[in-house]
Structure 1
Amino acid sequence: MSNTDYCIVGSGRLATHLRYWLLEKGHTVASWSRQNSDLRTLRSLSKNALSTLVAINDQSIEELCSFISEAGGSPVHFSGALHINGVLGFHPLMSFSNTFLDLETYSSIPFVGCEESDVFRRTFPSFKQNPYYQIEPQQKVKYHALCVLVNNCAMQLWARSVDEASAQMGLPVSIFDPIIQRSASSWVEDKASGITGPLVRNDLKTIEAHLGALDDEPLLKLYKAFLELPKPDE
């Protein structure tokens, strides 16, 4: 008989958020990480948990899931790109910072996986409000690449652009916060119809001036790449 509902493997942001979230939901939770425990402890913890949640980097997931299965545990991973035969995988479509969220926000996080919806609901019975979407295993890598473009690449573009303005013009980094927040809100409210600016209007004179002014090579290449994308109404 299981002593705990979940054993969480990992010590990063996702593992920390999962532990907080599940405890707030009233679950019993054990934790394990390589930094402060050995595999013998993990064997015992995973055998005594209903599910062992593997929230670590992709390079180590398959090996650790195999160990947990051989130990008699039930591993679940959260990689957006990996599909492992015989192992449940559910990707939370959310960016996790060092700050905990409120339960309403946690309950709005969508999960994407290759399993049927009822498998997700049985694995996480307290995540009743969380949307769940099923995709095919062969779609996972492309799905995750698109997630990275939406989230990580967008933030890297913000960081590079803001740093350039700060370094060359002396503008405070925070001056761009309102437009970044408004741009994100516009997408949530209006999707592609909320996109504005010279690239959408095809304002050639302004675009040519921009191309001549951008002396940061990576930003110039990105600007040119955006010119190749179809306009929202095309």
Structure 2
Amino acid sequence: MRQVSHSLGANPSYGIIGNGRLARHIQFYFKLKNIPHTLWHRQQAEPPENTLDQSDIILLAISDDAIDSFLDNHRQLNDKLCVHFSGTLVSQNALSYHPLMTFPSQPYDFDFYQKILFVGEEKAPAFSTIFPQLTNPSIQIPQAKKAYYHALCVMANNFTTLLWQKFFNEMTTTFNASLNDIKPYLKQTLLNIDSDYNNALTGPLKRQDLQTIKRNLEALEEDGFVKIYQAFVDVYQANLDNKTGEQHEHA
């Protein structure tokens, strides 16, 4: 585990490595907060050691599998405090603080950036030590649980996106529905989850309407998404069985 070997002060400067969406969002946030920073990416002719020489902290906003190899190839940067943003990688060369957010091509507003939760590793320096100019919420989790944490993130965000893409594509092509007319369904689903996620589930799974579930699966028989539907049925039923078993144990 990398440690902070010296006091960073109240206003450290940062060197940002990368030119993807995350790197651009970090730059935008830092500009809004007037935080000194320098950018380096592969399109620049100057080596990163020269560009980032005056930076106190190096931020690696690059792909997970490139982080350790990049630091191995640029060992001078290892003399500085390095931080990456991967949700799964445990590195001996850099600290980690994963932003629990999805980053589109357009920047967010200032208030939104300040609400982003950062997830670090247990026993690592606090988020406020690394980023004293930021007031974001943060938590720290065991290294052994990082991959599990990130799997939850992927399922919640990326997998639901695939489901909504399927829904929108089929509704607008197979059934000729207007995109504007079906968007309220998405919005209300998210509002229900936001309002009370424990009780947001509706439909045949919640009602245990086995005949409707059977008809749904039959209708999806030639569709690859039938496996997803069946998997959710199986997982939901297993959770119900576990809860029932727990209730019997405590009865």
d(CA) in 2 for partners of 1:184, 1:216: 29
Give the Å deviation of 1:174.
Answer: 3.9
Please state if 1:25 is matched with 2:46: no
1:156 aligns with one of 121, 141, 162: 162
> Under a length normalisation based on structure 1, what TM-score does the superposition of the two structures give?
0.89
Question: Tell me, what secondary structure is at the counterpart of 1:169?
Answer: coil
Residues 124 and 68 of structure 1: CA distance in aligned 2, closer, same or farther (over 3 Å): farther
Superimposed CA distance per residue, residues 4-41 of structure 1 (whole angstroms, 9 cap, x where no aligned partner): 7111111111100000001110111211111x214x53
Give the Å deviation of 1:227.
Answer: 0.5
d(CA) in 2 for partners of 1:216, 1:48: 59
> What are the equivalent positions in structure 2 for 1:109-148 lying under 5 Å apart?
109-116=116-123, 118-128=125-135, 130-148=136-154
> Under a length normalisation based on structure 2, what TM-score does the superposition of the two structures give?
0.84
2:108 paired residue number: 101
> Larger deviation: 3-12 or 137-146?
3-12
Unpaired runs of 5+ residues, structure 2, are 1-7, 244-251
Alignment RMSD, CA only?
A: 2.3
Given that 1:121 and 1:127 are in contact with CA atoms closer than 8 Å, whether structure 2 keeps it comes out as yes
d(CA) in 1 for partners of 2:58, 2:73: 11
1:90 paired residue number: 97
User: What is the letter of the counterpart of residue 91 of structure 2?
Assistant: I
Given that 1:46 and 1:68 are in contact with CA atoms closer than 8 Å, whether structure 2 keeps it comes out as no
Given that 1:88 and 1:115 are in contact with CA atoms closer than 8 Å, whether structure 2 keeps it comes out as no
Give the Å deviation of 1:79.
Answer: 0.3
> What are the equivalent positions in structure 2 for 1:18-97 lying under 5 Å apart?
18-34=26-42, 36-38=43-45, 40-71=46-77, 72-97=79-104
1:192 paired residue number: 198
Query: When the two structures are aligned, how many residues end up with a matched partner?
Result: 231
Give the Å deviation of 1:192.
Answer: 2.1
> Larger deviation: 118-127 or 25-34?
118-127
User: What is the letter of the counterpart of residue 219 of structure 1?
Assistant: F
Given that 1:117 and 1:132 are in contact with CA atoms closer than 8 Å, whether structure 2 keeps it comes out as no
1:176 paired residue number: 182
Question: Tell me, what secondary structure is at the counterpart of 1:218?
Answer: coil
Residues 23 and 200 of structure 1: CA distance in aligned 2, closer, same or farther (over 3 Å): same
d(CA) in 1 for partners of 2:75, 2:187: 44
> Larger deviation: 169-178 or 217-226?
169-178
Question: Tell me, what secondary structure is at the counterpart of 2:14?
Answer: strand
Q: Which has the higher contact order (CA 8 A, sep 6+)?
A: 2
**Identical-pair percentage:** 32
Computing the radius of gyration from Cα coordinates, the structure with the larger value is 2
> Larger deviation: 119-128 or 92-101?
119-128
> Larger deviation: 115-124 or 19-28?
115-124
1:10 paired residue number: 18
Question: Tell me, what secondary structure is at the counterpart of 1:47?
Answer: coil
> What are the equivalent positions in structure 2 for 1:198-217 lying under 5 Å apart?
198-217=204-223
Please state if 1:229 is matched with 2:235: yes
Residues 86 and 60 of structure 1: CA distance in aligned 2, closer, same or farther (over 3 Å): closer
Given that 1:54 and 1:65 are in contact with CA atoms closer than 8 Å, whether structure 2 keeps it comes out as no
